[in-house]
Structure 1
Amino acid sequence: MSVRLPYSLLWLLALPLVLLRLVWRARRQPEYLHHVGERFGRYRPHTGGPLIWLHAVSVGETRAAEPLVRAMLARWPEHRILITHMTPTGRATSASLFGKESRVMNAYLPYDLGTLAARFLHHFRPQLGVIMETELWPNLLAACERAGVPVMLANARLSERSARRYARWPTLTRATLGALRAIGAQTAADAARLAGLGARGVVQTGNIKFDILPPEAQLALSGTFRARIGTRPVILAASTREGEEAPLVDAFLRHAPADALLMLVPRHPQRFDEVAALAAGRGATVQRRSDEQAVRGDTRVWLGDSMGEMFAYYAAADVALIGGSWLPFGGQNLIEACAVGTPVVLGPHTFNFAQVAEQAEAAGAALRATDADAGMRLATELLADQARRSAIGEAGLAFAQAHRGATARTMAVIEPLLTAPPAAR
Structure 2
Amino acid sequence: MEVLYSVFIGLLGFLLRLASPFHPKAKAFVAGRKKLFKQLSASITDTSPLVWIHCASLGEFEQGRPVIEALKKEFPNIKILLTFFSPSGYEVRKNYDKADYIYYLPLDTRKNAARFIALTKPVLVIFVKYEFWHYYAKELHARKIPLISISAIFRKDQIFFHRLGGFYRKILDNFSYFFVQNDESRQLLQSINITNSKRVGDTRFDRVHQIVKQGGEIDIAKAFKNDQKAMVIGSCWPEDIEILAPFINENKMKFIIAPHEISESSVVWLEKQLLVKSIRYTAASQQTHLEDYQVLIIDNIGMLSRLYRYGEFAYIGGAFGKGLHNILEAACYGVPILFGNKNFEKFQEAKDLINRGGAFEIADYTDLKAKYEMLNLPENFLLACEVTRQYTEENLGATEKIMHYCREQLGVKPH
1:181 is matched with which residue?
Answer: 176
Indicate how the Cα distance of structure 1 residues 38 and 404 shifts in structure 2: closer, same or farther if over 3 A, else same: farther
The structural deviation recorded for 1:166 is: 6.2
1:196 is matched with which residue?
Answer: 191
The structural deviation recorded for 1:168 is: 6.7
- Say if 2:239 and 2:321, in contact at 8 Å, map to a contact too: no
Q: Which runs of 5+ in 2 are unaligned?
A: none
- Choose which of 296, 302, 307 in structure 2 pairs with 1:313: 307
Larger radius of gyration: 2
2:74 is matched with which residue?
Answer: 75
Indicate how the Cα distance of structure 1 residues 337 and 30 shifts in structure 2: closer, same or farther if over 3 A, else same: farther
- Say if 1:185 and 1:206, in contact at 8 Å, map to a contact too: yes
- Say if 2:159 and 2:165, in contact at 8 Å, map to a contact too: no
- Say if 1:365 and 1:395, in contact at 8 Å, map to a contact too: yes
Percent identical residues:
18
CA RMSD of aligned residues (A): 3.7
The structural deviation recorded for 1:71 is: 2.2
How do residues 33-182 of structure 1 correspond to structure 2 at under 5 angstroms? 35-37=32-34, 42-43=39-40, 44-48=42-46, 49-91=48-90, 94=93, 98-99=96-97, 101=98, 104-161=100-157, 163-164=158-159, 167=162, 169-182=164-177
Q: Which runs of 5+ in 1 are unaligned?
A: 421-425
The structural deviation recorded for 1:155 is: 1.3
Indicate how the Cα distance of structure 1 residues 172 and 314 shifts in structure 2: closer, same or farther if over 3 A, else same: farther
Indicate how the Cα distance of structure 1 residues 310 and 69 shifts in structure 2: closer, same or farther if over 3 A, else same: farther
1:343 is matched with which residue?
Answer: 336
- CA distance in 2 between counterparts of 1:221 and 1:32 reads 39
- CA distance in 2 between counterparts of 1:106 and 1:92 reads 10
TM-score, normalised to structure 1, is 0.79
Aligned length, in residue pairs? 401
The structural deviation recorded for 1:133 is: 0.9
- Say if 1:137 and 1:176, in contact at 8 Å, map to a contact too: yes
The structural deviation recorded for 1:395 is: 3.2
1:279 is matched with which residue?
Answer: 270
The structural deviation recorded for 1:263 is: 1.2
- Say if 1:252 and 1:262, in contact at 8 Å, map to a contact too: no
The structural deviation recorded for 1:89 is: 4.2
Q: Secondary structure at the match of 1:352?
A: coil
Q: What are the Cα deviations for residues 31-84 of structure 1, in whole angstroms up to 9, with x where unaligned?
A: 667734377785351341111011122222222223222222233232111222
The structural deviation recorded for 1:158 is: 1.6
Tell me which amino acid in the other structure corresponds to 1:85: F
2:405 is matched with which residue?
Answer: 413
Q: 2:241 aligned with 1:249, yes or no?
A: yes
- CA distance in 2 between counterparts of 1:230 and 1:90 reads 38
1:10 is matched with which residue?
Answer: 8
2:317 is matched with which residue?
Answer: 323
- Say if 2:239 and 2:320, in contact at 8 Å, map to a contact too: no
